[in-house]
Structure 1
């Protein structure tokens, strides 16, 4: 049994759209290429404008036409293969670590919570940002945690040294659902100039905001909007780094224009 902080299974937000993100092989940039939708009965997929013009990008398997809107009564095979097989011995454990009910979790809910990616994968999905009181929000798994013992990071306040062996586990053991984390911009990140880090109120580093969400949040944060992350779930080491901490990211920036920002950024690649 995995080591998990005991709490009720979280209610799954009713996201109806997931942003499909592709990693460019040369630059390793995470680029949005399409939108996967589900209204409770029908699945849809459509490419974002200008996806066909992105360098090195080729049509996804099963979606050859960049101009077509695809529909299906079942989850498309490309995304279905990214959902955990219920017959796997670790199915219940992994679903629980996503803060879902192993008995009732649907394939769509799994994609919403897990991102549908795996180690070395070039494709993932994230919940499309949703409007919230005073701004917009997005649920995501904390990224980059496995690197915290291998590299130091720099913020405007100075350098944060890499964790010694075992230190990050001590920090995670003190983390609890409902706890608020600070969003702090990283300085000098050559891979992602918009990289943002998550810290506790005691300035303990937890990890990164996923790259693409960081790019969405950066303009608002630069303009003075306030951002924060609320811990929803903390899992033990058996979950693997990519499933350790689930957070709800919030920004008090007007929701209008977020979709346009996604399209505009895609057109820049």
Structure 2
């Protein structure tokens, strides 16, 4: 429930969102202990920097490519928002704000979740091509999240899920726009399941009033 802003000049600002301040019993991060303060820094704060793979790692170029980024030019913030910055030791997840463009368009890129739980998903991902359009399918009987949204290669042939952190936004976009479409940005069938499918969501004619 916080927001990290990276300025073009290389400064970083972190602050808590109003929802965090209103949440009973909310515990702030040790690095950012005061809810009402804006924390400024000339370097990416350690809480976030520790969630970015080091460029010195032998696997970094392949990892950046799987995220659809150029390993030579990708910034730590781009790596963070594309990967989610997840760690096995906690449940924090970093996400990118939905980007609103002129003429009421919204674009978001994300990694499909739940691939390992869907039988045959990896085989189907292996046959996908960049820019191929996919199909969104609600799954109201999902035992974990009644607002879950499947991503199908074709109707009834799932290749992943819209991540839970994005699902509510997708539902809202479908109610507030002329159309919402999803495309293959990049398929990585040989990667670990959570990196196998990079998607691009586009919404057009979004009404913001």
TM-score for both structures, normalised by structure 2: 0.89
- Unaligned 5+ segments in structure 2 are none
Structure 2 CA distance, aligned partners of 1:184 and 1:46?
35
Deviations 1:212-262 (A, max 9, x none): 21111213435675322111111132x2111111111122352636xxxxx
User: Which whole-Å CA distance do the structure 1 matches of 2:77 and 2:37 have between them?
Assistant: 22
Unaligned runs of 5+ in 1: 1-32, 149-162, 258-269
| Residues in 2 aligned to 1:45 and 1:207: alpha-carbon distance in whole angstroms | 32
- Is the CA contact 2:177–2:204 (under 8 Å) kept in the aligned structure 1? no
| SS state at 1:126 partner | coil
Partner Cα separation in structure 1 for residue 62 and residue 34 of structure 2: 38
Residue 191 to residue 120, structure 1, CA distance change in 2 (3 Å): farther
Partner of 1:244: 196
Match of 1:57 in 2: 26
**1:193 matched to 2:146:** yes
Segment drifting more, 173-182 vs 115-124:
115-124
* CA displacement at 1:169 relative to structure 2: 2.8
Q: Is the 8 A contact 2:135 2:155 kept in 1?
A: no
Q: Residues 29-87 of structure 1, C-alpha deviation per residue, up to 9 Å, x if partnerless?
A: xxxx0111111221111111030343553111311111111111100110000010122
Counterpart CA distance in 2 for 1:118 and 1:42 is 25
3-state SS of paired residue (2:95): strand
Q: State which of 33, 49, 61 in structure 2 corresponds to 1:80.
A: 49
Q: How many residues align?
A: 207
Q: Does residue 51 of structure 2 align to residue 99 of structure 1?
A: no
Instruction: Give the root-mean-square deviation of aligned CA atoms.
Output: 2.1
Shift of 1:90: 1.3
